Amino acid sequence: MIQFQNVTKRFGDFTAIDDLTIGIYEKEFFALLGPSGCGKTTMMRMLAGFETPTEGSIYLAGQDMAPVPPNKRATNMMFQSYALFPHLSIWENIAFGLKREGMAKPQISDRVNEMLRLTRLEKFASRKPHQISGGQRQRVALARSLAKKPKLLLLDEPLGALDKKLRQDTQFELMDIQEKTGTTFVIVTHDQEEAMTVASRVAVMDNGRIIQVATPDRIYETPNSVYVADFIGEVNIIDGIATPNGEESYSVAWKDGQAPLNVKSPSSFSDGQSCHLAIRPEKVTINAEKPTGADNVVEGKILDIAYLGNLSTYHVELPSGAVIKAQSANTRRISRRAFTWEDTVWLSWTATAGVLLAA
Amino acid sequence: MMRRFTLIAIPYLWLLALFLVPFVIVFKISLSDVALARPPYTPHFDWATGIWAFLSELDFENFVFLTQDDLYWKAYLSSLKIAAISTLLTLLVGYPMAYAMARAPQEWRATLMMLVILPFWTSFLIRVYAWMGILSNEGFLNQFLLWTGVISEPLTILNTNTAVYIGIVYTYLPFMILPIYAALERLDESLIEAAEDLGCSRLSAFWLVTIPLSKTGIIAGCFLVFIPVLGEFVIPSLLGGSDTLMIGKVLWEEFFSNRDWPVASAVAVVLLLLLIIPIVLFQRNQQKQQEAEQ
Amino acid sequence: MKRMSWFNTVSLTLGFAFLYVPMLILVIYSFNESKLVTVWAGFSTKWYGELMQNEAFLSAAWVTIKVAVISSTIATVLGTMAAYVLVRGGRFMGRTLFSGMIYAPLVMPEVITGLSLLLLFIGIGLDRGVLTIVLAHTTFSMCYVSVVVSSRLVTFDRSLEEAALDLGCSPSEAFRLVTLPIIAPAVISGWLLAFTLSLDDLVIASFTSGPAATTLPIKIYSAVRLGVSPEINALSTLMIAIVTIGVLTASLVNKRQIVRQQREEKEAGRN
């Protein structure tokens, strides 16, 4: 539905968006994920019409959006600060956009009440924004931006101001509302967990470029670069040199004095090409005794244990000095744990556990 | 405890003696009669005859006189009119300036602010005086207009109400700009964007969001101009003409020229009563603003 | 990054022209050779020379400065006390009346304040002169000082005082060693405000001054009522110059302090 075509945006010398081409489909929940300053907010503001591309063009349903001012666009935005009008009641805030359309009074009333129901705010209709809680404000902002039935809803860090518990509840609420209304949602966030939870597709951005666009599970399981692997969740990165030793299978030579690692990879590497192996800690198994039949086994000493309640992350130092993180579920009580600091342990993982990435 | 008592007592007594007591005296004299004596009014309080004899000689004669001589109520009405019109004019000049200052790049704002405040530190009298040279018949404004050919005869501006309006707008402009600027600077830019996003044009976003949200600043600025202008003396006396009636000027003349102290005091008491309403409204507005900030 | 719209640029340009052109004209014509104030007849500083010869102006200026220094100093002490009482004093008898008396003079027309004080001075038989002007000026300017100081005191972190008391200061030591240094900028600007208000005041001084003491504004007013004169232009220019230099210096000092503080905070942050 939306097409960015070679879009570049510069502010003076600073390039916020660099030659970006991407499509967003109808009715999807699309997340722009990246650190602050990566250009994700600029992209969103271009969609809303507050910025115009320096080069390239943006199409919404096939129409070039450049000459359309923000107030004439079929997009609505939910602001990071919510931008609720402090002098208007909740009801008037939600009705604001409808009144601008010149909708008849009874229809406005119906629509506002419908939105209040959808966001469970009926009780607060006559309150002013400063008389309700943060979570309620967030829902008012959502109701206000959805009231005009936009084709596209833009959400700028919509949950940034909420505390963690409330944020999780609201994420599911957002997904629910997105499904009910069938609106295309584009969300901007720097919180990878949030993006993974709510979005059907995630675009990871850095320095004005999109690094990878894929579904959350593909982003996590098969990142296309060290940057993406590192940005999303925890990861061990092992540098090495690849040598093909079978179909889609490589032997990776890494630290001196260690046996090469066996890795399967769908992307091909030439003989002697340097590469990075990215392995998630939860895919590394930790054992007190040397396991047999594993594709890769290394020996090390426990340096640190981070106890997270349901999980524990073990920082294991190998003889070469490298540290590999392994995660395991705490299925037993902590006092029965088989190993503790300074213990010698064995780490193992399968050939398909990691992703082999080009350097 | 003793220390706390002194700390409270000193400024308290000072204000009682030099602010409250004088008012009681003004009120008392406003009820007295004019007399050819020093001080020129009767009765004087005398312990010998007692308080009731003293009180029995006080009356509202001076206030009755104020209602009979149409000079006074005309002066009150014309003061109100001049104050209202000049407040509106100051708002019309001040709002765009405050708006532009609040929208100016961050690094300029401190400088612009200083440029607004600077005239406030220079003598009020001098700022009014500056306009005398500009507005007189052979003044710079007339010279300029004659030179450009807009007019062929010099305009009479000095010693008219127009000159008074110009003088008031000029001297009270900072009082209007500062509260409005403070309100506009606090205004979150994303509110304007939200309004545009929801279908407002630039202009309707201004009417529906910017103006209502700077309302407390506008009200504060208007009162800060209106209240002092009502009792203004210097501007009407230097820039206004003999037909410019303002109550501050009347009071001054009543006191210094006619030496009618009781009537002057009565004029002052009525002016004070007139001021109570806007002062109370102003106070309310300030309180509301403070509550909103919390 | 953001550029000003033409509308904003125009309104600022016109607005500041309106504020400054009259004063500029005044300054330029103070250097006029001719006695006729609206006709330019060449550059001259002779009016400044004549001003310096004018005994009446000089003595009035001296009285004005004396009154301003004394009254603003007393007003600062009293105003700071009043602010402290208002913000930290807690509840006491007649608190509402007290705060009312602090705020009322700010909105009181000068003619009324002047008249009432004059009637008081006559009532108690006090001869009008420097003393009565000082009393009058102190009274209204202490209210301004107290407003300026109390707005600073409100934002002042009370726990700093409590820490001082906890570390063994007596209440007056805590005030002198902790509170006063922190609110000092507000106290100083309160003094400056009181000083300018006193320098500037015509109406109240006219009521409360006697034949023995005439202030500069009274002198200027009686001269100006007769029309524009180049001597007054010269005097005005001097006063504008002094104020401008004063305000610019103060704001530069202030700015440098802020810059230094920011730099130090930045360095501290890096370490």
**Cβ-Cβ contacts under 8 Å, B112 against chain C:** 12
Residue type, B118: L
Contacts of B242 (CB under 8 A, 6+ apart): B159
Average pLDDT over residues B86-92: 96
C12 and B100: CB-CB below 8 Å?
Answer: yes
Q: Which of B2, B3, B6, B12 should be substituted to probe chain C, the one whose Cβ sees the most C Cβ atoms within 10 Å?
A: B12
**Cβ-Cβ contacts under 8 Å, B209 against chain A:** 85
Contacts of C213 (CB under 8 A, 6+ apart): C63, C67, C128, C129, C130, C133
B126: left (phi over 0), alpha (psi -120 to 50) or beta: alpha
Of residues B221 and B292, more confidence is placed in B221
d(Cα A30, Cα A287) in Å, to the nearest integer?
Answer: 40
Residues C22 and B127: beta-carbon distance below 8 Å: yes
3-state DSSP helix/strand/coil % of chain A, to nearest 5: 30, 35, 35
Is A81 touching B (CB cutoff 8 A)? yes
> Could you give the C-alpha distances from C241 to A5, B123, C194, C236, C246, in angstroms and in order?
60, 11, 19, 8, 8
Average pLDDT over residues A37-54: 88
Is A130 touching B (CB cutoff 8 A)? yes
C104 and B19: CB-CB below 8 Å?
Answer: yes
d(Cα A219, Cα A205) in Å, to the nearest integer?
Answer: 12
Average pLDDT over residues C228-244: 87
Residue type, B267: V
**Cβ-Cβ contacts under 8 Å, B197 against chain A:** 48-49, 70-71, 73, 75-77, 97, 145
Strand partners, A243: A251
Average pLDDT over residues B262-290: 85
Is the link from the previous residue into B22 a cis peptide, with omega within 30 of 0? no
- Full domain range(s) for residue B183: 78-120+155-293
User: And the tokens for A8?
Assistant: 């570049």
| Chain A residue with minimum CA distance to B202 | A71
Average pLDDT over residues B230-242: 89
Query: Could you identify the residue written with the tokens 């006729």?
Result: C36
E strands of chain A, at which residues? 2-11, 14-24, 29-33, 55-60, 63-64, 75-78, 152-156, 184-189, 201-206, 209-214, 236-246, 249-253, 261-264, 273-279, 285-287, 296-307, 311-317, 323-329, 344-349, 355-358
Q: Classify residue A239 as exposed, middle or buried by CB count within 10 Å of its CB (0-12, 13-18, 19+).
A: middle
Sign of CA dihedral B104, B105, B108, B110: positive
Domains of chain A by residue range: 2-230, 234-358
Which alpha helices (H) appear in B18-123, and where do they start and end? 21-30, 51-56, 61-68, 70-103, 106-121
Interface of B with C in 71-90 (CB under 8 A): none
Is B172 touching C (CB cutoff 8 A)? no
d(Cα C125, Cα A233) in Å, to the nearest integer?
Answer: 87
In this prediction, residue B294 has a pLDDT band, given cuts at 50, 70 and 90, of: low
In this prediction, residue C1 has a pLDDT band, given cuts at 50, 70 and 90, of: very low
User: And the tokens for B73?
Assistant: 């109520």
A292 in helix, strand or coil?
coil
Strand partners, A155: A78, A187
B196 and A70: CB-CB below 8 Å?
Answer: yes
> Could you give the C-alpha distances from B109 to A2, B51, B99, B201, in angstroms and in order?
40, 61, 11, 27
User: Does the residue B8 lie in any domain?
Assistant: no
CATH number at residue B283: 1.10.3720.10
Interface of B with C in 252-271 (CB under 8 A): 252, 255, 261, 264-265, 268, 271
Residue type, C207: F
Summary mean pLDDT of chain B = 85
Range from A3-7, B63-67, B230-234, C229-233 carrying the lowest mean pLDDT: B63-67
User: And the tokens for A131?
Assistant: 């008389």
Candidates C101, C115, C135; nearest CB to B251: C115
**pLDDT value at B107 more than 90:** no
d(Cα C75, Cα C192) in Å, to the nearest integer?
Answer: 11
User: Does the residue B4 lie in any domain?
Assistant: no
Q: What are phi and psi of A273, to 5 degrees?
A: -75, 135
d(Cα C191, Cα C200) in Å, to the nearest integer?
Answer: 14
Summary mean pLDDT of chain A = 87
pLDDT > 90: percent of chain C: 28
In this prediction, residue B40 has a pLDDT band, given cuts at 50, 70 and 90, of: low
Chain B neighbors (3+ CB pairs < 8 Å): A, C
What's the pLDDT tens digit per position in B179-221?
999 999 988 888 998 998 888 888 899 999 999 999 989 999 9
pLDDT of residue A95: 92
User: Does the residue B32 lie in any domain?
Assistant: no
Helix (H) or strand (E) holding B19: none
User: Does the residue B204 lie in any domain?
Assistant: yes
Residue B103 CB coordination number (10 Å): 18
| Chain C residue with minimum CA distance to B24 | C116
Q: Could you give the count of Cα atoms lying within 13 Å of B281 in the half-sphere of its Cβ?
A: 14
**pLDDT value at B133 more than 70:** yes
Residues B39 and C122: beta-carbon distance below 8 Å: yes
What's the pLDDT tens digit per position in A100-144?
888 899 999 999 999 999 888 999 999 988 889 888 998 999 999
**Cβ-Cβ contacts under 8 Å, B292 against chain A:** 86, 130
B191 and A145: CB-CB below 8 Å?
Answer: no
User: Does the residue B44 lie in any domain?
Assistant: no
**pLDDT value at C247 more than 90:** no
C19 and B282: CB-CB below 8 Å?
Answer: no
C135 and B18: CB-CB below 8 Å?
Answer: yes
A236-246 and A75-78 as β-strands: parallel, antiparallel, unpaired? Answer: unpaired
C22 and B134: CB-CB below 8 Å?
Answer: yes
Average pLDDT over residues B126-142: 87
**pLDDT value at C2 more than 60:** no
User: And the tokens for C19?
Assistant: 């504020």
> Could you give the C-alpha distances from A155 to A14, A354, B93, in angstroms and in order?
24, 34, 39
| Chain B residue with minimum CA distance to C241 | B122
Strand partners, A346: A287, A299
**pLDDT value at A334 more than 80:** no
User: Among B36, B33, B23, which residue's Cα sits nearest to residue B65?
Assistant: B33
Candidates A50, A80, A86; nearest CB to B213: A86
**Cβ-Cβ contacts under 8 Å, A87 against chain B:** 212-213, 215
Domains contained in chain B, number = 1
User: Å from B288 to nearest chain A CA?
Assistant: 13
> Could you give the C-alpha distances from A195 to A32, A79, A217, A227, B9, in angstroms and in order?
8, 17, 11, 16, 65
Interface of B with C in 110-139 (CB under 8 A): 110, 112, 114-119, 121-127, 129-134, 136, 138-139
C243 and B121: CB-CB below 8 Å?
Answer: yes
What's the pLDDT tens digit per position in A265-318?
888 888 888 888 899 999 998 888 888 888 888 888 898 888 888 888 899 988
Is A142 touching B (CB cutoff 8 A)? no
Is A202 touching B (CB cutoff 8 A)? no
Residues C227 and B238: beta-carbon distance below 8 Å: no
User: Å from B221 to nearest chain A CA?
Assistant: 19
What's the pLDDT tens digit per position in A216-241?
999 998 898 889 998 888 889 888 88
CATH code of domain A234-358: 2.40.50.140
Q: Using a CB cutoff of 8 Å and minimum separation of 24, what contacts does C1-10 make?
A: C1/A11, C1/A12, C2/B105, C4/B100, C4/B103, C4/B104, C4/B105, C5/B103, C7/B96, C7/B100, C8/B96, C8/B99, C8/B100, C8/B103, C8/B104, C9/B100
CATH class of the domain comprising A2-230: alpha beta
Residue type, B269: V
Average pLDDT over residues B281-286: 84
Q: What are phi and psi of C6, to 5 degrees?
A: -65, -35
Is A50 touching B (CB cutoff 8 A)? yes
Candidates B190, B208, B215; nearest CB to A81: B190
Is B204 touching A (CB cutoff 8 A)? yes
Average pLDDT over residues C254-259: 82
User: Does the residue B38 lie in any domain?
Assistant: no
User: Å from B224 to nearest chain A CA?
Assistant: 23
Candidates C109, C117, C240; nearest CB to B18: C117
**pLDDT value at B98 more than 90:** yes
